[in-house]
């Protein structure tokens, strides 16, 4: 499975091949679990700044490394259709590092770029899964994600 170097910006790292030593911070695309991701992927026309990750339907999951202690996870999101279901950022539970339950942030009703934010407090260094989802079943109502940050 190819992966992207994590440089603090979603989908803007350099793609690396297996056998090349990864940087310490990396994003793995795990799956498109439960829902088909159709008409989705890197979008070089829209971004904050470009490029961004377009998601027309479904979800992407990324595995992120984190050190113990309070951390805020942020991602920029844009859903230009006010009538569409709102995009979601979800940090999946990982009790082995002290994240006992899912933590979810849902975009507001505005149609411009906004920042979703969620705070976690892992008790050990480890890995968690970040899930970005477009819950709207209408393929003509995509959303865009950009600039994943862990602070």
- Asked if 129 contacts 92 with a C-beta cutoff of 8 angstroms, the reply is yes
Whether the CB-CB separation of 91 and 72 falls below 8 Å is answered with no
Cα distance between residue 30 and residue 63, in whole Å: 7
Q: Count the Cβ atoms, other than its own, within 10 Å of residue 78.
A: 21
* pLDDT digits 0-9 by tens, 99-129: 999 999 999 999 999 999 999 999 999 999 9
The arrangement of strands across the sheet holding 126-134 comes to 15-16, 3-5, 26-29, 58-66, 126-134, 88-91, 103-106
Please give the share of the chain, as a percent, with pLDDT higher than 90: 62
56-80 pLDDT per residue, tens? 888 899 999 999 999 999 999 999 9
Q: Burial level of 85, CB count in 10 A (0-12/13-18/19+)?
A: middle
The three-class DSSP label of residue 53 is: strand
Q: Which residues contact 94 (CB under 8 A, 6 or more apart)?
A: 122, 126, 127, 128, 129
Closest CA to 134 of 100, 90, 92: 90
- pTM of the full structure: 0.77
Written as six digits, the tokens of 49 are 């700044």
């Amino acid at each position: 499975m190819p992966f992207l170097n994590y440089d603090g910006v979603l989908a803007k790292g350099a793609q690396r091949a297996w056998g090349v030593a990864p940087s310490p911070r990396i994003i793995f695309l795990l799956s498109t679990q439960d829902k088909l991701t159709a008409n989705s992927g890197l979008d070089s026309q829209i971004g904050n700044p470009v490029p961004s990750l377009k998601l027309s339907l479904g979800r992407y999951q990324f595995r992120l490394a984190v050190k113990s202690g309070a951390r805020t996870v942020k991602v920029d999101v844009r859903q230009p259709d006010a009538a569409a279901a709102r995009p979601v950022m979800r940090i999946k539970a990982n009790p082995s590092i002290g994240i006992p339950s899912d933590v979810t942030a849902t975009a507001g009703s505005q149609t411009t770029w906004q920042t979703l934010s969620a705070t976690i407090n892992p008790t050990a260094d480890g890995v968690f899964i970040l899930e970005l989802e477009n819950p709207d079943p209408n393929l003509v109502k995509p959303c865009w994600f950009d600039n994943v940050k862990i602070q």
